[in-house]
Amino acid sequence: MTSQTLDDLIADGVRGRHVLVRSDLNVPLDGTVVTDDGRVRASLPVVQKLVEAGARVIVMAHLGRPNGAPEAKYSIRPAADVLRTLSGLPVVVAGDVVGESAHALAAALGDGEVLILENVRFDARETSKAATERAELAAELKSLTGDNGAYVNDAFGAVHRRHASVYDIAALLPAYQGDLVATEVRVLKTLTDAPKRPYVVVLGGSKVSDKLAVIENLLGRADHLLIGGGMAFTFLKAQGHGVGASLLEEDQLETCRGYLTRAKEEGCDIVLPTDFVVAERFGADAAHEVLAAENLEGGSFGATGLGLDIGPVSGDNFASYIRSANTVFWNGPMGVFEMEAFSGGTRAVAGALAESEAFSVVGGGDSAAAVRTLGFHDDDFGHISTGGGASLEYLEGKELPGLTALEGVAK
């Protein structure tokens, strides 16, 4: 089955109707300051489209991981303030999820106005493993829309969750796929169904265990798999190299050996860094030096040295693979990019992607934050995904509950 689209909903007519929109406003915060507004910007077009069509828009979103109860530090208000500022729309924020404030403000909404509910994860039923509890919350969310409501899922970053506002609500209201979700699915289908070759995948981040399934699924699809970040050290150790005090997952050594063997059989070239920036300790001002991958314990800091970035030779090498590719998927930074001394590898990858004419996808999460932190713009890349975890699970070949729900098979 195929999902109904936002255009289908608007064609049916939305003026005067309450439309529940699941958006992704899960932005990083420094106190109450939004440090990366990318997800808010990505959520705006669907909200604006509905407003222009005369809908009474009720936005549901989560922020962070509150423990099923209100926590001031996870209030949706900072993200809502950014949405209001960027859009200039009439936006009000409820003081709760489905309580008195939400009901009163929903009832008072006029055509073309926007209500943002408080962090939906302040209600423990949102993420409950009990279907009956999630269904109860979904019914209360539906009640905010009156007799002629509709539901739009535009939160790709949440479609891999079987949550009330993502999965269960779609069984209670006419459900539609938002434009952002549609774009993400179309882009990821290109990566899995018919990537133009050479196809280069760049994986970073801290842990191999976070990327096991995506490596498994991409070994037979990608031509070159470039591995950086903390996860590279487990691969190096699997090859017999010492890695000092660098991040290491001992329980994944055999898995990495298996991947290295399988890659040769599948015709996929696993490319590991040949040098690293090794620090005396974890800190922006830590003494550091560049060491060859086979000599990480032979430098000034001996076996206590801590690898915090791929080295300049590796950065150049990774960049050359990217420049020669026709399709590139990147997920995970190459080092501790937040610290200038250890940002070079991530900057090299981002710069090569920005210059590349390949079909390129930056896989959300830390990668998206990294490119913006390092001064790149969204327009420099083919596509920046809003869903790190969801993107990976899609590439792993997993079924995503939020997508199946839109296809009318929620149970």
- Identify the structural domains of the chain with CATH numbers, from first to last: 6-182 (3.40.50.1260), 195-395 (3.40.50.1260)
pLDDT of residue 108: 97
Over residues 127-145, mean pLDDT: 98
Instruction: State the pLDDT confidence band at 193, using cuts at 50, 70 and 90.
Output: confident
The answer to whether the annotation marks 162 as part of a ligand binding site is no
- 39 catalytically annotated: yes
Known binding residue 73? Answer is no
The pair of three-digit structure tokens given for residue 372, joined into one six-digit string: 């913006």
The reply, when asked if residue 351 is annotated as ligand binding, is no
Residue 39 assigned to a binding site: yes
| Mean pLDDT to the nearest integer, 122-133 | 98
Per the listing, tokens 């926007």 go with 114
Residue 366 counted as an annotated binding residue: yes
| pLDDT cut 70: percent of the chain above it | 98
Nearest partner of 114 among 105, 122, 104, judged by Cα: 105
Judged against a pLDDT cut of 90, whether residue 396 lies above it is answered with no
Report how far residue 154's alpha carbon sits from residue 158's, in angstroms, rounded to the nearest whole number.
9
Quote the pLDDT of residue 373: 87
CA-wise closest residue to 393 among 225, 127, 159, 205 = 159
Annotated catalytic residue within 68, 99, 299, 389: 389
Q: Calculate helix-pair angle for 312-323, 344-355, nearest 10 degrees.
A: 20
pTM: 0.87
For residue 338, say whether it is annotated as part of any ligand binding site: yes
Q: In whole angstroms, what is the distance from residue 126 CA to residue 97 CA?
A: 10
- The verdict on whether 95 is a catalytic residue reads no
Q: Residue 380, annotated ligand binder?
A: no
Is it the case that residue 410 has pLDDT exceeding 60? no
The annotation status of 63 as a binding-site residue, yes or no, is: yes
Mean pLDDT of 286-305: 96
Least confident range of 42-46, 112-116, 211-215, 335-339: 211-215
41 catalytically annotated? no
User: Two tokens at 302?
Assistant: 């001996």
Spatial separation of the C-alpha atoms in residues 34 and 81, rounded to whole Å: 10
Phi, psi of 103 (to 5 degrees): -65, -45
Whether 25 has a binding-site annotation, put simply, is yes
What mean pLDDT comes out for the span 375-385? Answer: 87
Q: Is the pLDDT of residue 411 over 70?
A: no
Instruction: Verify whether residue 389 is a known catalytic residue.
Output: yes
**62 among annotated binding-site residues:** yes
Q: How many residues does the chain have?
A: 411
Q: Which of 73-87, 216-230, 347-361, 366-380 has the lowest mean pLDDT?
A: 366-380
Q: What is the pLDDT of residue 370?
A: 87
- The answer, yes or no, to whether residue 239 has pLDDT greater than 60, is yes
Provide mean pLDDT across the span 343-350.
Answer: 96
Does the pLDDT at position 409 exceed 60? no
20 has binding-site annotation? no
Which member of 344, 365, 387, 402 is catalytic?
365
Query: Is the pLDDT confidence value at 156 over 90?
Result: yes
Rg (CA), the chain: 23
Check whether 307 is labelled as a binding-site residue: yes
Confidence grade of residue 406 (pLDDT, cut at 50, 70, 90) = very high
CB 392 within 8 A of CB 364: no
- Averaged pLDDT of the chain: 94
Which of 41, 77, 84, 207 is flagged as catalytic? Answer: 207
Q: Does residue 65 have a known ligand-binding role? A: yes
Choosing from 17, 22, 38, 39, the catalytic residue is 39
